[in-house]
Chains A and B, each alone.
Chain A
Amino acid sequence: MTKQIPQPWGTPLKEEALQKHNVLTVDYKPKVKYAWASGIAIGRFLNGLKDGQIIGTRCDNCGRVVVPPRIFCEWCFKPTESWVKLPDTGTVNTFSISYITADTTRIKTPIIPAVIQIDETTNAGLLHLIENSKPDAVKIGMKVKAAWLPASERKGSITDIKHFAPVR
Chain B
Amino acid sequence: MSSESIKVEGDFPVHFRYTAGLAGEKFLREIKDNARLVASRCLKCGLNYLPPRISCERCMSRLEEYVPIESVGVVAAVTRCRYDPEGKELAEPVPLALVRFPSAHGGLIHRVKGTVQVGDKVRVIFKEKLSRIGFILDIEHFEKVR
A: residues with CB less than 8 A from B are: 9-11, 13, 18, 23-40, 42-44, 46-47, 103, 156-157
Contacts and interface: CB of A to CB of B under 8 A. Distances in A.
Given A18-B19, A31-B11, 9 more contacts: A24-B20, A24-B28, A26-B18, A30-B85, A35-B9, A36-B8, A42-B5, A47-B6, A156-B6
Given A24-B20, A25-B17, A35 B8 contact: yes
B16 A27 contact: yes
B110 to A, nearest CB: 15
A104 B25 CA distance: 29
Given A30-B85, A35-B9, A23 B25 contact: yes
Interface residues of B, number: 33
A10 B8 CA distance: 42
If over half of B's interface residues share one DSSP class (helix, strand or loop), that class is named, otherwise mixed; here it is: mixed
B146 interface: no
Contacts of A42: 5
Nearest to A36: B8
Given A24-B135, A34-B12, A35-B9, A40 B2 contact: yes
B71 interface: no
B4 to A, nearest CB: 4
B67 interface: no
A73 to B, nearest CB: 17
Contacts of A157: 8
B100 to A, nearest CB: 24
14 contacts: A23-B20, A23-B25, A26-B17, A26-B18, A26-B135, A27-B17, A27-B18, A31-B11, A34-B9, A37-B5, A38-B6, A38-B8, A42-B5, A43-B6
A49 to B, nearest CB: 12
Interface in B51-88: 54-55, 62, 85-86
A30 B8 contact: no
A24 B27 CA distance: 11
A11 B11 contact: no
A102 B13 CA distance: 11
Contacts of B13: 103
B135 to A, nearest CB: 6
Interface string B3-42: 0111111111111111111100100110010000000000
B130 interface: no
B55 A9 contact: yes
A18 B17 contact: yes
Contact of A25 (B8, B9, B12, B18): B18
Contact of B14 (A23, A24, A29, A44): A29
